[in-house]
Amino acid sequence: MGTEERRNKEKEIRKNDIIEAAERAFFKKGYSNATMDEVAKEAEFSKRTVYVYFNSKEQIYFEIMIRGYRLLISMLQADLKRETKDAIEELHQLLLTFYKFSNQNRDYFKAIMEYETVKLEAESGIESQSRDECYALGEQIFEYLIHALKRGVDEDTFRSDLDLTQTALVLWACTVGVLNTADIKEQYLKDYHKTDKEKFVSDAFDLIIRSIIR
């Protein structure tokens, strides 16, 4: 291994160490409450060293979401290997995978939820590569939704007047809201509405799908 190759490998290891330290800090305290000082302390680096690799807390947060989106995409790929009989089943499987992701990867799910509901402080200053990669992965997820919607229109199952992109955005927003409510209001749903998390999510997904069926 040459000197340059070794240097690049060491740099990549340090970047990953910082991201993993940031995950521990952000997952414990939330993005808004965690500081770069805490990230540096967790990584056992100086704050100056952290800034050598990342220009802001927001950039590190995008790197964490990139990891979460990659996990979600790998789950979508695995769950959709089995052929679905129609667009309704395909869309239902997508929504179930989102739910499974929220249960099995709760920290990444919460990180994505926080981004969806809180505007980052300095998004315009984030290194474009981190932001663009994160957005590109998000678009891959939208493509799964658009594919299911287009299939439904072609099969004459879903309404023919649907704007596929706009509908995919609305479906994602609705799903985010449902899963976030199921996560943070689980006890409330049991105590005051006599329903459990699973039934609430199942009923919500059925309602979402019925809203676009012809």
Helical ranges in the chain per DSSP H: 3-29, 36-43, 47-53, 57-79, 87-104, 106-117, 128-154, 164-184, 186-193, 197-210
Domain span including residue 12: 1-54
The proportion of the chain whose per-residue pLDDT surpasses 70, expressed as a percent, equals 94
- Pair 133, 173 in one domain: yes
In tens, the pLDDT along 65-112 reads 999 999 999 999 999 998 899 999 999 999 999 999 999 999 999 888
7 with 20, same domain?
yes
Same domain? For 157 and 202 the reply is yes
Residues 39 and 71 in one domain: no
Average pLDDT over residues 183-207: 96
Q: Are residues 31 and 102 in the same domain?
A: no
Interaxial angle between packed helices 57-79 and 36-43, expressed in degrees from 0 to 180 and rounded to the nearest 10: 70
Give how many domains the chain has, as a whole number.
Answer: 2
The CATH number covering residue 24 comes to 1.10.10.60
How does pLDDT run across 144-167, given as a tens digit for each residue?
Answer: 999 999 999 999 999 999 999 999
Domain co-membership, 80 together with 182: yes
Do residue 21 and residue 123 come from a single domain?
no
Tokens standing for 127?
Answer: 């290194």
Alpha carbons 149 and 158: distance in angstroms, whole number = 7
Asked if residue 76 and residue 142 are part of one domain, the reply reads yes
Find the mean pLDDT for residues 114-133.
68
The structure tokens listed for 145 are: 């939704």
Based on the fold, state whether residues 198 and 141 are members of the same structural domain: yes
Does residue 94 share a domain with residue 41?
A: no
- pTM to 2 decimal places: 0.90
Q: What is the mean pLDDT of the chain?
A: 92
